[in-house]
């Protein structure tokens, strides 16, 4: 069977890692992109290969247009095609607006928004040739509602939503779909150590009264990657327990 090929950016840890392993379980050959953490990337590739798929680890800074071009050349060289692009790489540099430096703003926009543009730009050509493809970009509910101390992050994630909708319109005639996933409050090592009072305050704003898991986000990505979502494009799918509605 000719397996589909999925590139997940920032797959060496966190949500990207969970997506890579879940997609391997579903039978995709997996490309693991990372910027610095080679040891983790190799671990992820081993976990993916345990599901009987092929993997490729590629170090590339998504902010660097040429480096992203080289990453796609390497992928096409090995697999001959790219079926799914998951734009997951992301950073935060949280601080109040009055303290936010130009560099804090630029770096977050560069990784989150420009990095997403760079990958879409290089994925579009081979996907257009194939006349198929699914592009999934990680936004955030913060891109929909804003947040104190996250002006840069909110702007980058709102930008991803506008970019996704434009790409969805432009590439739909070529059989390519583009959607965004907007996670809400997802349990990670960082959030696990929060004080009970803080956790309860957050939970009081979540109708399903629970934090999301990385698997919840990965399940949505798998749905958007698959043909089960063949009639879904240009959408922002919130995975937030009903927090934003």
CB of 168 to ligand NAP, least distance (A): 19
Nearer to ligand NAP, 29 or 140 (CB): 140
62: contact with ligand NAP by CB under 6 A = yes
Residues 139-158 binding ligand NAP (CB under 6 A) are 140
Taken as a whole, the chain contains a residue count of 245
Beta pairing partners, 84: 6, 134
* Dist CA 44 CA 50 (whole Å): 10
159: contact with ligand NAP by CB under 6 A = no
Strands (E), the chain: 5-8, 29-34, 55-59, 84-87, 133-138, 176-183, 236-239
226: contact with ligand NAP by CB under 6 A = no
Catalytic residue among 28, 34, 153, 231: 153
Nearer to ligand NAP, 46 or 230 (CB): 46
37: contact with ligand NAP by CB under 6 A = yes
63: contact with ligand NAP by CB under 6 A = yes
User: What are the helix and strand counts (H, E) for the chain?
Assistant: 10, 7
183, 229, 237, 238: which one binds ligand NAP (CB under 6 A) = 183
Residues binding ligand NAP: number (CB under 6 A)? 27
43: contact with ligand NAP by CB under 6 A = no
Backbone angles phi, psi at 9, to 5 degrees: -80, 150
* Dist CA 133 CA 122 (whole Å): 13
* Dist CA 109 CA 157 (whole Å): 9
| Active site (annotated) includes residue 153 | yes
Residues 88, 9 contacting (CB under 8 angstroms): yes
241: contact with ligand NAP by CB under 6 A = no
14: contact with ligand NAP by CB under 6 A = yes
* Dist CA 177 CA 224 (whole Å): 9
186: contact with ligand NAP by CB under 6 A = yes
Catalytic positions, written as ranges: 153
Interface with ligand NAP (CB under 6 A): 9-10, 12-16, 33-37, 40, 61-63, 88-91, 111, 115, 138, 140, 183, 186, 188
């Amino acid at each position: 069977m000719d397996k589909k090929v999925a590139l997940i950016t920032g797959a060496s840890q966190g949500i990207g890692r969970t997506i890579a392993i879940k997609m391997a379980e579903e039978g995709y050959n997996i490309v693991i992109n990372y910027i610095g953490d080679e040891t983790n990337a190799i671990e992820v590739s081993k976990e993916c290969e345990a599901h009987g798929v092929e993997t490729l680890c590629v170090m590339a800074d998504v902010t660097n247009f040429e480096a992203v071009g080289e990453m796609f050349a390497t992928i096409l060289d090995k697999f001959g095609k790219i079926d799914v692009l998951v734009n997951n790489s992301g950073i935060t540099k949280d601080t109040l607006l009055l303290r936010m430096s130009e560099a804090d703003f630029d770096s977050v926009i560069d990784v989150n928004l420009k990095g997403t543009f760079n990958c879409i730009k290089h994925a579009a050509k081979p996907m257009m040739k194939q006349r198929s493809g699914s592009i999934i970009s990680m936004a955030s509910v913060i891109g929909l509602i804003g947040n104190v101390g996250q002006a840069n992050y909110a702007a980058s994630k709102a930008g991803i939503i506008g970019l996704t909708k434009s790409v969805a319109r432009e590439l739909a005639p070529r059989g390519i779909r583009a959607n965004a996933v907007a996670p809400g409050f997802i349990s990670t090592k960082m959030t696990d150590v929060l004080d009970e009072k803080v956790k309860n305050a957050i939970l009081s704003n979540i109708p399903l009264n629970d934090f999301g898991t990385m698997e919840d986000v990965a399940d949505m990505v798998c749905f958007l990657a698959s043909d089960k979502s063949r009639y879904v494009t240009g959408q922002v799918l919130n995975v937030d327990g009903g927090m934003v509605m």
